[in-house]
Homo-oligomer: A and B are copies of this chain.
Amino acid sequence: MNHSLGELAVRFGCELRGDPAQRLSHVATLAGGGDGTLGFIASPHYRAQLAVTRVSAVVLAAAELQHCRVNALVHANPHATFARMAALLHPAARAVPGVAATAVIAPDARVPASAHIAPGAVIGAGAELGERCVIGAGAVVGASVRIGADSELRAHTTLEAGTVLGERVLIHAGAVIGADGFGFARDAGQWVKVPQVGVVRIGSDVEIGANTTIDRGAIDDTVIGDGVKIDNQVQIGHNCVIGDHTVISAFCGLSGSTRIGRRCMLGGGVGFVGHQTIGDDVAFTGDCLITGDIDRPGVWSGALPAQPQREWQRLVARFKRLDRLALQVRRLAKQLGEDSEHD
C-alpha cells in the first residue's frame, strides 16, 4: 500500500509538519529507514536517532518535534497512531473464503461461506463459526465450540470441546485452549482424576500467543475478558478469571482459580500460587511470585538481578546466614543498651 503523508494526517488526526505529498509505502525503524518509510518515536530514549534518521516521516509527540529534521506527524499518542498507520500500510493478507479439500468438517457444524478453512483443519460436531473466520492449517476445533466473527486460529491451534470465543480473537500457532485442568484428589498415595467439566470462555478482541495453554474449568468456567492480550507460552490454570484489557507476558503461570482484575500488566515469568484475587490496574515486573491477594493499584516486584557469579556466591552465603547475622546484631544492640523494637 502507498499513502500520502497528507492523507495519513487527516485520517488519523495528526498535525502535519512537512510535505503532504510525500508518499509512504512501509514502516521502518529510525535507524534503518529510507525513502518512503514511516518511523515513530515514543520515548526520548531514541532522540539521538531522530536527529540522523533517513525515514521520510516520523510519528511523534509535540515535545519531540523540535528534535525532528524530517516530515513529522504530531499526535498525543504516537505509538498507537503509528500502530494504526502500520496496519494501513501493511494490511494482513486476506484469507480467501472456502474450505480446503483435506479439511474435515462435521456434518452438523455451522461454517459460513465467508470462512476460510485451511488444509487439514478439523471442525467438530456442532461447532459454530462466525462470519469471515479463518481456521489455520491443521487447527482442531472441538465439538460444540463457538467462534465469533472475524476470529482467526493459526496453524495447529487446538480448541477443546465447548470452548467459546468472541469476535476478532486471534490465536497463534500451537496454543491449546480447553485442555483438562490439573485436578487430582489424593487417595492412599495415588491420584484420582477430578473430571474437568467447565469450559473456557474468551471475550472479543483477545490475542493469545503461540503455544500458550488455557485450561478448562473444573466445575465453573475459565474466563478471559475482552481485549486481553496474552503472550507466547503462558499457562492459565482452571477457573482463572482475567479482567478486560489485561496484558500477560510470556511464561506467566496462573495457578487454578487466580482472579486478575482489569488493565493489569504482567511482566514475563510472573507466577501466582493460586486462589488469589488481584484488583484492577496492578502491574507486576518480571519473574515475581505472588502469594497473596492485592486490592489496590500499584506495581509489585520480586526478582533479584543477576550478578557476576563470584559476587553472587558470596551474597548467597551471606543470605543463608541471615538469621545468624540478625541474632548477632540483636546481641550487640542489647550490649549497647538499644532496645530490640527495631529488630
Contacts and interface: CB of A to CB of B under 8 A. Distances in A.
Interface residues on A, range: 35 or more
B332 A304 contact: no
Nearest to A212: B211
Nearest to A262: B189
A157 to B, nearest CB: 9
A143 B318 CA distance: 53
Interface of A: 26-29, 32, 42, 77, 79-80, 82-84, 86-87, 90, 92-93, 100-102, 104, 118-120, 122, 136-138, 140, 143, 154-156, 158, 160-161, 170, 172-174, 176, 179-180, 182-187, 189-195, 197, 207, 209-211, 213, 215, 219-220, 227, 229, 231-233, 235, 237, 245, 247, 249-251, 253, 255, 263, 267-269, 271, 273, 284-292, 298-309, 312-316, 318-329, 331-333, 335-336, 338, 342-343
How many monomers of this chain does the complex have?
3
A292 B306 CA distance: 9
Q: Which 3 A-B pairs have the closest CB atoms?
A: A302-B306, A288-B306, A79-B185
Given A29-B219, A193-B87, A309 B298 contact: yes
Contact of A336 (B176, B186, B229, B335): B335
B232 A235 contact: yes
A219 B302 contact: no
Contacts of A255: 249-250, 268, 286
B325 A326 contact: yes
Contact of A307 (B220, B268, B302): B302
Contacts of A185: 42, 77, 79-80, 82-83
A300 B63 CA distance: 40
B189 A245 contact: yes
Contacts of A289: 286-287, 303-306
Contact of A176 (B173, B227, B326, B331): B173
